[in-house]
Structures are given as C-alpha cells and as structure tokens.
Amino acid sequence: MSTLKNIQDKASKNEFDKKVLTATQHLHPYVKHRLYVAESTGILPKNMYRSNDLIDTAILKLYEGGYNIDDEPLAVKLKLFSIVDNDLDELFKKEAFHQKTISTRTILEEELDGLNEQFSVDADLDFIMNEDFDDVSYAHYNKHNNLFLYSDNNRSILDTFEIEDISAQKSQRVIGGFYSWLPTVFADIVDLYIFGKLSFDDIAKIKQMETARIERIFQAIKKSFRKNLD
C-alpha cells in the first residue's frame, strides 16, 4: 500500500497529514506532466516511472527527514515540491548518463535544424541561456527521437501563454517542438508555474533563485513561444 494511501486511510488524520494531502493535489499534475515530456523526448523509457511512486518517495523523505507540525500549508507544499523537483532532476541525470550530453546552445542549434517548422528564440531568452545556463549537463539530446506531437491536454499551456486562435493540430506540433528544444531547467520552471500552480516567489524558493530572475525567464519563454506561432 502506498504512503499516500496509508495517510488517506488513517481513521484520525492530524493537521500535518491534511497539509500533506492538500499539497499532493498539485504535485500529481506537475509530476505527471514532467514524466510525460521526459518520456516523449526520450529522456526516460516509457511507462517505467509512475507519478504516484515518486510522490510517495517524496512524502517518505519529508516524514523521515523531520518536520514541523506547525508549518503553514504553503511551507509544507514547497518542501514537497522541492523534494520532488530534486528527485526528478537526479532521475533525469541518471537516465541520461550514458547518452550524449552537450551544452544547451548546441542542443538548441541542432534541434532547431531538425524541426520541420523552424523555431526561433527571442533575444531575451537567448541572452539568459548564454548567461546562466550554457552547460546543462543532463539535458537530453536525440535528434531523431525527441520531436513529438504533444498529445496531452494543452489548454493550460495555451491559456497561460494567452494563445487563442490556433488549431488543435498546430498546437500539438508547436507545443511538442517547444518542449523538444527547451532545456530541462527552463521547462521545469514552466511546469512548476502551469501545472504546479506555484507563484514566481514559490518557484524562486524551490530553485534558490531571485524572483525577478524566475519571472524574467518565464516571460522570455512565453515571448519565444508566441513568436513561433507567427
């Protein structure tokens, strides 16, 4: 029986357990989406990892690592997200260990060459990638296998990026291509915001970066995404 199930089945849940359960409501869509993209782009083998297992592991780490029963719900939520975020990063590193790993700039240039629809990067995003993230060693690259049609529910992404007039077929192609070349560290920020329902302040705490930096990265990604719809 899973850790989450054990908590749910307790006859008398304490307040901390309730905070943990509440936090998992947004953890599930976030983890599921990161696994979906990782599988679709070839970082992970399909169906090898389950979101429930990763979340259960995070909950165990939270309880075993010691916790403050008086923590506010948001504090508990951010601790769980931080654990899961780190575990996913480590998982991607492990799976990509024997695969070709190159700088994000090389990934970007070569993957753009392989797209049927050319993707272009806004100057702000290009600057950010060169400035701080020029060597994402665990970013996966496989030119022939990492381009995919995005078949998940894309409405959340389109709404966040304020996209309205686009066909279902084009949105699948554009979002799939978008996640194919977007470095993992950037895609994670997008997913924490859209699927994790976290604010820029929350994401900054998880990533240990300044809030203004997170917001700037997100806005540059959004601008580049919209640019490729033209």
Give the model confidence (pLDDT) of 75-98 as tens digits: 999 999 999 999 999 998 888 753
Indicate the SS3 state at residue 8: helix
Q: How far apart are CA 205 and CA 14, in angstroms?
A: 27
What is the distance of C-alpha 124 from the center of its chain?
Answer: 21
pLDDT of 129 > 70? The answer is no
pLDDT at 5: 64
pLDDT at 96: 72
Tell me how many degrees the CA angle 70-71-73 measures, rounded to the nearest 5.
120
Q: Could you tell me the pLDDT band of residue 141, with boundaries at 50, 70 and 90? A: very low
pTM: 0.76
pLDDT at 67: 82
